[in-house]
Amino acid sequence: MADPTAPLLDVRNLTKIYPRRKGLFGKGEAFVALDGISFTVGRGEVLGIVGESGSGKSTAGRIAMDILTRSFGQVLFDGVDPLTMDRVQRRGFRRRAQMIFQDPYASLNPRMTVEQLLRTPLALHGLTGTPAEDRRKLVAALDLVGLPATLLNRYPHEFSGGQRQRINIARALMLDPALVVADEAVSALDVSVQAQVVNLFMDLREQLGIAIVFIAHDLPVVGIISDRIAVMYRGRIVELGETVAMFTRPRHPYTAMLLNAAPAPDSSAASLLAVQPVAEDAGMAGGCAFRPRCTFAMPACAVEKPPVRTLQGGHMTACLRDDLVIDGPLAGQSCC
Amino acid sequence: MSGPILSVRKLAVTFAQGGGPDIPAVEGASFDVGAGETVAIVGESSSGKSVTAMALLGLLPAGAGTVVSGQALFRRDGENAVDLLALPDRAMRAIRGRDISMVFQDPMTSLNPVLTIGEQIAEVLMTHDGLTRRQAQAMAIEMLARVGLRDPGQIVAHYPGQLSGGMRQRVMIAIALACRPRLLIADEPTTALDVTVQAQILALLRGLQAEMGMAIIFITHNIGVVAQVADRIVVMYSGQVVENAPVRDALDSPLMPYSRVLFRTVPTYDAVLARRQRLPTIPGHVPDPRHRPQGCTFHPRCAHFRPGVCDGFRPSLESARSGHEVRCVRWEEIARG
């Protein structure tokens, strides 16, 4: 068993490169989807990952779950890399690390009842017990996600989007996971349903001690649920730190822009104007990738990729400018 | 401002279902849109907000068991009002795209993949404004520049598949605004976009609206977006308008119990500060349109439900204070606390 004080998930220098060819036989430059990212998730911790589409946030989640291959880097789950695991360890990893996807409609087999859907993971992992034991587990999992046991014989089409997402979560819980990676798991839901499912994730962490990687693009939602947040831009983590600290004083101009752009009912209309257009020049070599959209860019930003600086409290930022003081939406409201 | 440019009265839409009971998607929606005003229609799934938009645009399939009733009086400058719901297809087609235009959520399915961007904008201008092909092409380039696209002269020659989601949505807006409509109906126009792109598109719509003086019906489930763009909010729940008020009034002091709790379920930055506190939720779920509850359709989920008061008859939309309408028989008691 691994060191209980060590992080549950430790991702180091993860890189994903897609070779890209021009034409059928031509050569082309490679597309770097992940550019050496590192982060950890502690036991029972919630780490949020935010970023625009194409930032690499889903890629990071999928590689951490070992359902997508990596080009370089290490993924350590309880100190062991899935790539070096033997069959038994691998089976344990597949059981203890579960993933929940965005689309609750596409991720449930329409021809299986809720009972069959929830029993399948038990059967796949050879964990089937007596019928009475299994039934207790099923009912317990449904109860955790707030669904009554009377629904066991129903089919997915009989449920709303929010209920289906609860079934997905219940199915992940059947295997008693230590880590759940939720990729845009509440994005497709109506506001009031989204609030219910966000609360459910908070319950899972508190009642079962499950660690969660919560990947989403909605900053207020990520902020509510996450202890720490990693902000990704073009395949890199540009800022990583505790939620309240980040929302009070973002250290990277990109984080500040995202916070400005995410409309919360309590944010003002004026904040819309501060957002810079998306640069289309993706192939820009060298320097900070955010530079063309950054109001604080200086000549040095074009020269080298900004190294990661570690600040007080383990807060990390990949911005050359150490002189910036940017107010986030929580500035003046929190202690720190 | 001289009267609303659109007055919707008792709009009802029913879809017939083979065999089963009819589905009353919209049950008597009434609201006004002033000239140059942005009205946000807010609601969750099956609230009827998108069906309302489709009905106003005359885009619901005629026949096939769809019944649209009520009135939607649309006033163009200095002309008599026309009832959009009673217009023959031909007359509606002349209005749609010229006086009233629309932007939908998914620009990829709304654009024709085998026509260039330039051809698609030019088509609108040639159809409605009678421009020649050459004039229309020049105008298309101007419109693309207006919506903030760089190198419009090159983009006209591109196909939709060659553009990013944000660029495609800008193209949709360029097409929608090409004929300087009096009213733009935008159904979740930024829902599929990144927050930064969303912010740009919203700022763009605001700017163009100020410049061209058009009214906007903005359909969304995103209360944060509403706070930034709308002058007025119309809240819909299970096919009915349940609250209609100026945006700050509605968000700061909503009267209908549904809006009161709906607005609070939205994650705010303040909620981020309250670490580990649960978000407020609404118990139960939106009723199946075929089996809506008796009385107020929200009563089974309402914290202020009174037996015999709320479950007898459907409350009507009443005027609570100036410009603020609410559908709840108990709103006064509830407001007093």
Nearest to B204 by CA among B223, B190, B217, B191: B190
Q: Is B169 in a helix, a strand, or coil?
A: helix
Residue B104: the pLDDT is 86
**Residue B48 to chain A, least CA–CA distance (Å):** 14
Residue A53: the pLDDT is 83
Residue A331: the pLDDT is 87
A200-215 mean pLDDT: 95
**Residue partners of B333: CB distance under 8 A and separation at least 6:** B304
Q: Is A198 in CB contact (< 8 Å) with chain B?
A: yes
Place of tokens 């902020």: A223
B247-252 mean pLDDT: 93
Nearest to A252 by CA among A306, A216, A312: A306
Whether residue A283 is predicted with pLDDT greater than 50 in this model: the reply is no
Nearest to A318 by CA among A328, A310, A326: A310
Residue B262: closest C-alpha in chain A: A192
Determine the Cα–Cα distance for residues B298 and B276; give it in Å rounded to an integer: 29
Determine the Cα–Cα distance for residues B174 and B163; give it in Å rounded to an integer: 14
CA B105 from centroid of its chain's CA atoms:
11
Would residue B278 be called left, alpha or beta, if left means φ above 0 and alpha means ψ between -120 and 50 degrees? beta
Is residue B187 within 8 Å of residue B104, measured between CB atoms? yes
Yes or no, beta carbons of A195 and B280 under 8 Å apart: yes
Q: Is A59 in CB contact (< 8 Å) with chain B?
A: no
B155-176 mean pLDDT: 89
The H-or-E segment that residue B33 falls in is strand B23-34
Whether residue A189 is predicted with pLDDT greater than 80 in this model: the reply is yes
Tokens of B101: 């235009």
Residue A282: pLDDT band (50, 70, 90) is very low
**Residue B229 to chain A, least CA–CA distance (Å):** 7
B284-297 mean pLDDT: 88
Residue B194: closest C-alpha in chain A: A52
Q: Is A161 in CB contact (< 8 Å) with chain B?
A: yes
Yes or no, beta carbons of B272 and A196 under 8 Å apart: no
pLDDT tens figures, B97-111: 889 999 988 777 788
Q: Is A281 in CB contact (< 8 Å) with chain B?
A: no
List CB contacts (< 8 A) between A190 and chain B. Answer: 44-45, 221, 286
A307-315 mean pLDDT: 92
Candidate from B221, B268, B275 with C-beta closest to A266: B268
**Residue A220 to chain B, least CA–CA distance (Å):** 6
Residue A277: the pLDDT is 56
Among the residue ranges A27-31, A84-88, A315-319, B82-86, the one predicted with the least confidence is: A27-31
Structural domain including B141 reads 106-178
Yes or no, beta carbons of B225 and A202 under 8 Å apart: no
Yes or no, beta carbons of A247 and B197 under 8 Å apart: no
Tokens of A35: 């550019």
Yes or no, beta carbons of B265 and A262 under 8 Å apart: no
Is residue A215 within 8 Å of residue A182, measured between CB atoms? yes
Give the start-to-end residue ranges of the domains of chain A. 43-67+85-233
DSSP-assigned states of every residue in B64-117? TTEEEEEEEEE--TTS--EETTTS-HHHHHHHBTTTEEEE-S-HHHHS-TTS-H
Residue A285: the pLDDT is 63
Yes or no, beta carbons of A266 and B269 under 8 Å apart: yes
List CB contacts (< 8 A) between A260 and chain B. Answer: 199
Whether residue A106 is predicted with pLDDT greater than 60 in this model: the reply is yes
Yes or no, beta carbons of A221 and B267 under 8 Å apart: yes
B21-42 mean pLDDT: 93
For residue B117, which phi and psi values (nearest 5 degrees)? Answer: -55, -45
Is residue B56 within 8 Å of residue B185, measured between CB atoms? yes
pLDDT tens figures, B62-86: 777 788 999 999 997 767 899 999 9
What amino acid occupies position A119? R
Among the residue ranges A131-140, A207-216, B55-64, B259-268, the one predicted with the least confidence is: B55-64
Establish if B189 belongs to a structural domain: no
Establish if B131 belongs to a structural domain: yes
Tokens of B14: 């029913």
> Are β-strands B100-103 and B183-187 bridged in parallel, bridged antiparallel, or unpaired?
parallel
Determine the Cα–Cα distance for residues A112 and A100; give it in Å rounded to an integer: 18
**Residue partners of B139: CB distance under 8 A and separation at least 6:** B121, B122, B125, B131, B178
Determine the Cα–Cα distance for residues B95 and B100; give it in Å rounded to an integer: 6
Question: Helix, strand, coil shares of chain B as percentages rounded to 5?
Answer: 35, 25, 40
Determine the Cα–Cα distance for residues A272 and A274; give it in Å rounded to an integer: 6
A:171-190 residues touching chain B, CB 8 A cutoff? 190
The distance in angstroms from the start CA to the end CA of chain A is 37
Determine the Cα–Cα distance for residues A43 and A215; give it in Å rounded to an integer: 17
A185-196 mean pLDDT: 86
Whether residue A245 is predicted with pLDDT greater than 90 in this model: the reply is yes
**Residue partners of A53: CB distance under 8 A and separation at least 6:** A217, B165, B194
Yes or no, beta carbons of A263 and B282 under 8 Å apart: no
List CB contacts (< 8 A) between B282 and chain A. Answer: 192
Residue B240: pLDDT band (50, 70, 90) is very high
Residue A2: the pLDDT is 60
What does CATH list as the number for A43-67+85-233? 3.40.50.300
Residue A309: the pLDDT is 94
Among the residue ranges A4-13, A207-216, A231-240, A326-335, the one predicted with the least confidence is: A326-335
Whether residue A336 is predicted with pLDDT greater than 90 in this model: the reply is no
Whether residue A271 is predicted with pLDDT greater than 60 in this model: the reply is no
A:130-159 residues touching chain B, CB 8 A cutoff? none
Establish if B261 belongs to a structural domain: no
Establish if B133 belongs to a structural domain: yes
Yes or no, beta carbons of A223 and B45 under 8 Å apart: no
Angle between helices A131-144 and A114-124 (to 10 degrees): 120
Determine the Cα–Cα distance for residues A18 and B218; give it in Å rounded to an integer: 40
Establish if B120 belongs to a structural domain: yes
Residues in chain B: 337
Candidate from A190, A262, A272 with C-beta closest to B45: A190
> Are β-strands A179-183 and A211-215 bridged in parallel, bridged antiparallel, or unpaired?
parallel
Candidate from B197, B261, B270 with C-beta closest to A278: B197
Determine the Cα–Cα distance for residues A97 and A214; give it in Å rounded to an integer: 13
Q: Is A310 in CB contact (< 8 Å) with chain B?
A: no
The better pLDDT of the pair B64, A160 is held by A160
Residue A273: the pLDDT is 46
> What value of ipTM does the predicted structure carry?
0.84
CA A239 from centroid of its chain's CA atoms:
14
What amino acid occupies position B124? V
Determine the Cα–Cα distance for residues B104 and A242; give it in Å rounded to an integer: 37
User: Counting one residue from A and one from B, how many pairs have CB atoms under 8 Å apart?
Assistant: 149
Yes or no, beta carbons of A265 and B223 under 8 Å apart: yes
Residue A267: the pLDDT is 55
Establish if B202 belongs to a structural domain: no
Q: pTM to 2 decimals?
A: 0.88
Angle between helices B133-146 and B117-129 (to 10 degrees): 120
> Are β-strands B82-83 and B66-74 bridged in parallel, bridged antiparallel, or unpaired?
antiparallel
CA A60 from centroid of its chain's CA atoms:
8
> Are β-strands B232-237 and B38-42 bridged in parallel, bridged antiparallel, or unpaired?
parallel
Q: Tell me what percent of the residues of chain B surpass a pLDDT of 70.
A: 99
Residue A1: the pLDDT is 52
